[in-house]
Chains A and B, each alone.
Chain A
């Protein structure tokens, strides 16, 4: 059985069943490290990716449900050498300790800033309410998102 999907602008065929969670296809077939397994229950947000610009939990999204939708992962935003403004801001603010939640924080923040380019601090907190951080990096994450929202150019 093979299933096709579009990720970060490219099309792929993968040997997965249509009901396989998108997370494992991204990590194991496409070798994308960004989305993380945290709970498999859509409770923590570590696996967040964008589907047609909307944040979804890839751990509970069946790969066969995507059709022609565009999946964007954190690898689709930028690289360490040419980071997206959000990634740049997270580096500038040193907004990570273990960093395991950061994929979800950045992808949820991307969805937020696409809707609301200049959020208040309270809006940032609400926008990230479904993403859990355990190291206590909350303050730096909030500062990084606000900093990215102030950066010039498209977010």
Chain B
């Protein structure tokens, strides 16, 4: 995506890669063979040239390039704030270019709440360095010391009143050099743009029907495609009636390669009708059955696992300590974007161009290279926003689907492909089902003196990967490609074991990640990875222990936590919600707390939720929630609050409603009736308090509140009913069973 901040209309931005200006520049410096360059901070390390990040134009404005992409989280606005602050330029003179394999740095994936940390620090240091270079040039031109110069809005002034602009210096500024990362960024006290709730650049188009999404891209001669997926994961295509489909109105081509099947038509509704007819004529050989959902967790535990001890501390457990244990379950969960995945592809003059809402255009290109057997310079991936993704959904898969259809399109005509609702639910990689077993010893004086925690999970990332092809359609081609072997994500960030190591100070503990390689259902990264389930389990268990110790949940947490920033969010949210120590509401109404430091590396969040339980119907409602969050130095307070609120509400939906349904023959959650999510009347009222820490580095927050909210709901449920829900989600059937049990 190519965004000019002052532009009201994104049309030119979305079309920029098509015959638009492509600036050629080298992204990698010349490094002599065998010479190891010094490590640079954040994303600078892999993208070491200054002009790969920032260029100054003759008009005095800056082109700012980022490999991070807008997913609806407001990141381009926040990154622009960082760059504008360091450059001393007003925001409207920045031209943001994002996620383009021919124009921007390769920053891997926009994931894991790392854009502010890695992409932000790169722009902060690059911006400071460009500003210092401009000051040196101005000093030479004006014949004064650089230290005596002032900069405002791209105009450099000497003490005697003489001025020179960035635009006047642009031609002499050699930014095609390796970043030193030595220029000192501004101190937080000097910030004028960072720390302000700047309105997001993308919102006006989104509320007025402007061009805002890859779905809105319309290229000359564009055709519409649809794919026909097998009835189950491993089914094989035996035959189709191609002639019948080709005779349908508007059909341009039927694309078939092995068991990959799609159709292209002049009009979108014609493509949809043809795909339905194609599906009806297709004959498939069924693959092996899925496991029985009723015994899913036993099935997962029966699979071979590779145990990793990720934390171990030993101390003698005092005599008389009480052992307490509990097991928790989290189901397969959908990303469930409101808009199904979409891509536009064009294969012309031997080159494939793909407009995509992938979270990583460079890794996507790598897997497209494998599938299409084209060299990397013949595949150009350009990011354009899609519907919110919340992790690895169908975005990358639909890009290959569109490319395969574009290859079948006559005359180099572009093809737009949007998955149908059924495709998205049935084929997206789900957030993995997980089992968490916790066991602790409680001393006579009510302290946790030993902690054991085991988590079983599949991998939490099957994103595009250089070690194999992770794009769905590649497995169904006539020459099927192999996916990359699934692996763990190492601690401290972790995958299935993300947030499995508690932040609390226990004298003795052992935490084990049981990595299960075999994947009964297709899985990958869903927002928070394992953190949602681990924080749900750990914080639920902490409340179970507090109850056994006869302690107040807030006081019990504080008694086991030294980290001052962790203590501060707990104390802040308790005060904000008016938490009363020892309060036991009961009677179907209850209040609970949950806390975590996301990834044990990023934002601290504590959440308190109020819950009401209707025992007769089993319905759980969450009228209110409060949160306190500490993300270090805040870049955009309103944007940060929006992420924390969104995480809390999305987590309410996961926790109350969401579970992928399947039977032996395939996935049964295929629409919003079979995979219901939270509705407007059910959404809790959320109040967020932000703790700004200017001296601490800025860390990501997009995934920080989901785990704490799940635990707050479960803990409030227990306070309301005296019963403990250890299996997600808290559906009416499950609630009624627990209430009667």
Binding site for B on A (CB under 8 A): 16-17, 20-21, 24, 27-28, 31-34, 36-41, 43-44, 46, 73-75, 77-81, 83, 87, 90-91, 94-103, 106, 122, 124-126, 128-129, 131-142
Whether a CB of chain A sits under 8 angstroms from the CB of B362 is no
Selected contact of B207 from candidates A40, A41, A106, A136, CB within 8 Å: A106
Chain A residues with CB under 8 Å of B414's CB are none
Closest approach, in angstroms, between the C-beta of A98 and any C-beta of chain B?
3
24 A-B pairs (CB sep. < 8 Å): A28-B218, A28-B268, A38-B340, A39-B672, A41-B671, A43-B671, A46-B338, A74-B207, A80-B205, A81-B8, A97-B72, A97-B74, A98-B388, A100-B72, A100-B213, A100-B337, A100-B338, A125-B680, A129-B679, A133-B338, A134-B337, A135-B388, A137-B642, A139-B645
Closest approach, in angstroms, between the C-beta of B317 and any C-beta of chain A?
42
- Contact mask B264-291 → A, CB, 8 Å, 1/0? 0001110010000000000000000000
Q: Compute how far the CA of A133 lies from the CA of B679 in the bound complex, rounded to whole angstroms.
A: 8
- Contact mask B159-191 → A, CB, 8 Å, 1/0? 000000000000000000000000000000000
Q: Compute how far the CA of A129 lies from the CA of B681 in the bound complex, rounded to whole angstroms.
A: 6
Q: Given A44-B672, A134-B338, A136-B649 in contact, is the A33-B203 Cβ separation under 8 Å? A: no
Chain A: which residue is nearest B706 at the CB level?
A136
Whether a CB of chain A sits under 8 angstroms from the CB of B575 is no
Selected contact of A135 from candidates B216, B218, B650, CB within 8 Å: B650
Selected contact of A40 from candidates B203, B267, B421, CB within 8 Å: B421
Which 10 A-B pairs give the minimum distances between C-beta atoms?
Answer: A98-B72, A34-B209, A136-B649, A98-B388, A99-B206, A136-B646, A138-B683, A100-B387, A80-B204, A43-B672
Closest approach, in angstroms, between the C-beta of A50 and any C-beta of chain B?
13
Closest approach, in angstroms, between the C-beta of A96 and any C-beta of chain B?
5
Q: Compute how far the CA of A97 lies from the CA of B338 in the bound complex, rounded to whole angstroms.
A: 12
Q: Given A80-B204, A99-B72 in contact, is the A37-B672 Cβ separation under 8 Å? A: no
Cβ contact within 8 Å between A87 and B207: yes
Chain A residues with CB under 8 Å of B322's CB are none
Closest approach, in angstroms, between the C-beta of B217 and any C-beta of chain A?
10
Chain A residues with CB under 8 Å of B212's CB are 33, 99
Closest approach, in angstroms, between the C-beta of B360 and any C-beta of chain A?
18
Selected contact of B385 from candidates A37, A98, A101, A131, CB within 8 Å: A98
Cβ contact within 8 Å between A136 and B645: yes
Chain A residues with CB under 8 Å of B653's CB are 136
Which of A43, A125, A137, A139 has the most CB atoms of chain B within a 10 A radius of its CB?
A: A139
Closest approach, in angstroms, between the C-beta of A151 and any C-beta of chain B?
15
Closest approach, in angstroms, between the C-beta of A29 and any C-beta of chain B?
9
- Contact mask B658-695 → A, CB, 8 Å, 1/0? 00000000000001110001111101011000000000
Q: Given A37-B215, A99-B72, A128-B680 in contact, is the A91-B207 Cβ separation under 8 Å? A: yes
Cβ contact within 8 Å between B680 and A46: no
Chain B residues with CB under 8 Å of A79's CB are 208
Chain B: which residue is nearest A141 at the CB level?
B680
Cβ contact within 8 Å between A33 and B209: yes
Cβ contact within 8 Å between B203 and A74: no
Chain A residues with CB under 8 Å of B561's CB are none
Chain B residues with CB under 8 Å of A73's CB are 209
Cβ contact within 8 Å between A24 and B268: yes
Chain B residues with CB under 8 Å of A34's CB are 208-209
Q: Compute how far the CA of A137 lies from the CA of B205 in the bound complex, rounded to whole angstroms.
A: 17
Cβ contact within 8 Å between A41 and B672: yes
Selected contact of A38 from candidates B73, B216, B338, CB within 8 Å: B338
Chain A residues with CB under 8 Å of B673's CB are 43
Cβ contact within 8 Å between B73 and A142: no
Cβ contact within 8 Å between A91 and B683: no
Q: Give me 18 other A-B pairs in contact (C-beta within 8 A), A44-B338, A139-B686 excluded.
A: A16-B267, A16-B269, A28-B267, A32-B209, A36-B213, A36-B215, A37-B418, A38-B338, A75-B209, A78-B208, A96-B203, A98-B338, A100-B338, A126-B680, A132-B672, A135-B388, A135-B646, A137-B645
Cβ contact within 8 Å between B646 and A97: yes
Cβ contact within 8 Å between A20 and B269: yes
Closest approach, in angstroms, between the C-beta of A16 and any C-beta of chain B?
7
Closest approach, in angstroms, between the C-beta of B69 and any C-beta of chain A?
12
Closest approach, in angstroms, between the C-beta of A104 and any C-beta of chain B?
9
Q: Compute how far the CA of A44 lies from the CA of B268 in the bound complex, rounded to whole angstroms.
A: 20
Which of A24, A83, A95, A122 has the most CB atoms of chain B within a 10 A radius of its CB?
A: A24
Q: Compute how far the CA of A83 lies from the CA of B642 in the bound complex, rounded to whole angstroms.
A: 23
Chain A: which residue is nearest B209 at the CB level?
A34
Closest approach, in angstroms, between the C-beta of B560 and any C-beta of chain A?
30
Whether a CB of chain A sits under 8 angstroms from the CB of B200 is yes
Which of B72, B208, B642, B652 has the most CB atoms of chain A within a 10 A radius of its CB?
A: B208
Cβ contact within 8 Å between A74 and B208: yes
Q: Compute how far the CA of A147 lies from the CA of B8 in the bound complex, rounded to whole angstroms.
A: 24
Q: Compute how far the CA of A36 lies from the CA of B385 in the bound complex, rounded to whole angstroms.
A: 14
Closest approach, in angstroms, between the C-beta of B685 and any C-beta of chain A?
6
Cβ contact within 8 Å between A140 and B671: no
Cβ contact within 8 Å between B685 and A139: yes
Chain B residues with CB under 8 Å of A20's CB are 267, 269
Q: Given A16-B269, A97-B646, A129-B680 in contact, is the A80-B671 Cβ separation under 8 Å? A: no
Cβ contact within 8 Å between B388 and A41: no
Q: Given A80-B205, A98-B387, A137-B646 in contact, is the A37-B339 Cβ separation under 8 Å? A: yes
Whether a CB of chain A sits under 8 angstroms from the CB of B202 is yes
Whether a CB of chain A sits under 8 angstroms from the CB of B632 is no
Q: Compute how far the CA of A81 lies from the CA of B646 in the bound complex, rounded to whole angstroms.
A: 28
Chain A residues with CB under 8 Å of B213's CB are 33, 36, 100
Q: Compute how far the CA of A124 lies from the CA of B340 in the bound complex, rounded to whole angstroms.
A: 27
Cβ contact within 8 Å between B269 and A132: no
Cβ contact within 8 Å between A38 and B218: no
Cβ contact within 8 Å between A90 and B207: yes
Closest approach, in angstroms, between the C-beta of A111 and any C-beta of chain B?
14
Chain A: which residue is nearest B198 at the CB level?
A94
Q: Given A73-B209, A133-B680, A135-B388 in contact, is the A100-B339 Cβ separation under 8 Å? A: yes
Whether a CB of chain A sits under 8 angstroms from the CB of B382 is no
